[in-house]
Amino acid sequence: MDKTKKKRGQPEKASVRKILAAISGTGGLKTAIAIKLGVHYRTVLNYEKKYETVRQAIGEETEKILDKCESNLFLRIQEGDEDTSKWVLSRKGKQRGYSEKIETEQKGSLKVEHTVKIEDTIKKYKGVIDELEQPD
């Protein structure tokens, strides 16, 4: 029997305690957590799915990195960075009319007619039709 295969009941490479300790400083990125632990990405996903404490810790770490990113944006805006200001407005200023997309609303109905002539289709695929009709 291959001794490298995991048997049921064997202790796993990771533990909740080890996973929780590895989360710090990863920004909540599961790949980074897996690399710190030397385990497969799937192992981290499985622990996250199975244990509420792991799920919460990853969520809290993700929030920390998002706060840091928002702080960086705020500093750039305070420094007068126009591109950063435009970027933030395009994402957070929609209620004030700032957006990269133009959203429209149409009331009523719209009638669309589409006509396909069989003759046009036959002309388009004539070569294919001729090949199919030739005996082998």
Domain with 25, as residue range(s), is 16-99
What confidence tens digit (pLDDT) does each residue in 3-40 have?
555 555 444 567 899 999 999 999 999 999 999 999 99
Whether residue 76 lies inside any domain: the answer is yes
Q: Where are the alpha helices (DSSP H) in 2-133?
A: 16-23, 30-37, 41-50, 52-78, 82-92, 118-124, 126-133
For residue 125, give the 3-state DSSP assignment: coil
Q: Which helix (H) or strand (E) holds 97?
A: none
Q: pTM of this prediction?
A: 0.57
Q: What is the mean pLDDT of the chain?
A: 83
Whether residue 28 lies inside any domain: the answer is yes
Give the count of domains, the chain: 1
Whether residue 11 lies inside any domain: the answer is no
Whether residue 105 lies inside any domain: the answer is no
Instruction: Report the pLDDT value the prediction gives residue 102, as an integer from 0 to 100.
Output: 64
Whether residue 8 lies inside any domain: the answer is no
Whether residue 79 lies inside any domain: the answer is yes
Whether residue 130 lies inside any domain: the answer is no
Whether residue 133 lies inside any domain: the answer is no
What confidence tens digit (pLDDT) does each residue in 89-106 have?
888 888 887 776 666 777
Q: Tokens 């959203």: give the residue.
A: 103
